[in-house]
Amino acid sequence: MKRIILPIFAFLFFGCKKDKTSSPVPTVKTTEYTFDNDANSGLMFKDGESIEVLTSEARRYEIGKVLRVKAINATTIEVANFAPVDIVDATILLTIEGQAKPIKLFRIAKIRAHAVQEIKYPFMEGNTKFLNIEDQEIDLAPYKTTGLALNQVSFDFTGDTDLIKKLKTLAKLKWKIKYHDFDPADDPTNNWKENIDAKDVRRYTGLMINLAYLIQAESTKTAFIAEPITDNNNVLLTTAQKEEALKKMIDIPTFNCGLVVNVSGLGGGYTFGVANHVLNDYLTNDVSFIAIHEISHMIGYSHSSSMTYPTNPGNRGAVVAMGTVYREMLTKDILPIKTSNYYKPADL
Ligand SMILES: [Zn+2]
């Protein structure tokens, strides 16, 4: 008798264990969308798009949310990809004011680079049962007829792909980005390009992602802290002061981005400008000497500080430390935006 029972127990135990790894079995399936062609999405920053649209307030985005969902009204939301690369396998999270845990609103199998599309809230048209981030079932039926008030919702994205994990690290930065035509009167004597165009903005979106990725990286912090860097009075910054300088870069609330001519860059306050050659180069070369120089101006450092230009002895400074890390990131092919995933080879 015992000889028979023993193998049965072993089998049951095995079966039980297997079952446990696949539970709990969610009864709710998260709706999936694809925004990968002209039939299911439009494109932002298309050639010929007007300056008014390119530089519009509606195109402002947070660097930590380059996959941006925003409510248009109580029933309709807009999904937009501000990265110049396709994003796959993302989950959009909805937080309703008063509810502790974000809800998995829908999945995106694929959204092409710079795609934009308006959709109805999935619960308006389909099933009202959703899962929150802990896979607990939430019924959104109370909102099926009224929708959700604009001021009670916020959105984020998540996912497990390498690209999404990198894009999520940018949430450490406070940068809200918008593109600008700083020379609306087309004055030929200033250093702003007369008309910023769609190709400028397309490439710029990738530059900002890579710069943010550089600035948030732990390897950058290590190199930056180890680097001798002087302040505006040519006095060496302490470790605490360097940490503070890096924190200031991370905390810049607004980047008003423009294109410069005659010079390589321009920066101060919330204004950030780079020349066409920087937009050409950042996928293959270090651009810290210009970009970090200008960002250092934005946080208050002048040309007397080696936050902007390297100084002697040893030709050291912030742009040297940052440049070394950026070049490493290029060599290791770990920057979020690279030549191999940028969607429009003709831009490069
Ligand atoms: Zn300068």
**Mean pLDDT taken over the chain:** 93
Q: Is 97 helix (H, G, I), strand (E, B) or coil?
A: coil
**Paired tokens of 158:** 């998540």
Give distance in angstroms: CA of 228 to centre of ligand 1.
19
Mean pLDDT within 279-294: 98
Is pLDDT at 12 greater than 70 in this prediction? no
Pairing of strands 153-158, 87-96: antiparallel
If one counts every other C-beta atom within 10 angstroms of the C-beta of residue 171, the result is: 14
The model's confidence at residue 125, banded by pLDDT at 50, 70 and 90, is confident
Q: Give the model confidence (pLDDT) of 16-67 as tens digits.
A: 444 445 555 568 999 999 999 999 999 999 999 999 999 999 999 999 999 9
Q: Quick one: average pLDDT of 197-225?
A: 98
Rounded mean pLDDT, 227-237: 97
Residue owning tokens 């109805």: 120
User: In angstroms, what is the span from residue 292 Cα to ligand 1's centroid?
Assistant: 10
Return the pLDDT at 121. 97
Distance 298 CA to ligand 1 centre (A): 10
Do residues 62 and 134 touch, judged by C-beta distance below 8 A?
A: no
User: What beta strand segments (E) does the chain contain?
Assistant: 32-35, 42-43, 61-62, 67-71, 76-81, 87-96, 103-111, 115-120, 129-132, 137-139, 153-158, 176-179, 254-260, 265-268, 271-275
Read off the pLDDT band of 4 (50, 70, 90): very low
Neighbours of 94 (CB within 10 A): 25
Q: How many Å lie between the centroid of ligand 1 and the Cα of residue 21?
A: 58
Compute the distance from residue 290 Cα to the ligand 1 centre, in Å. 8
How far apart are the CA of 264 and the centre of ligand 1, in A? 9
- Whole-number Å distance, alpha carbon 331 to ligand 1 midpoint, is 27
**Which pLDDT value is given to residue 5?**
44
Three-state helix/strand/coil letters over 31-93: CEEEECCCCCCEECCCCCCCHHHHCCHHHCEEHHHCEEEEECCCCEEEEEECCCCCEEEEEEE
- Token representation of residue 92: 């959009």
Nearest residue to 227 (alpha-carbon basis) of 306, 301, 287: 306
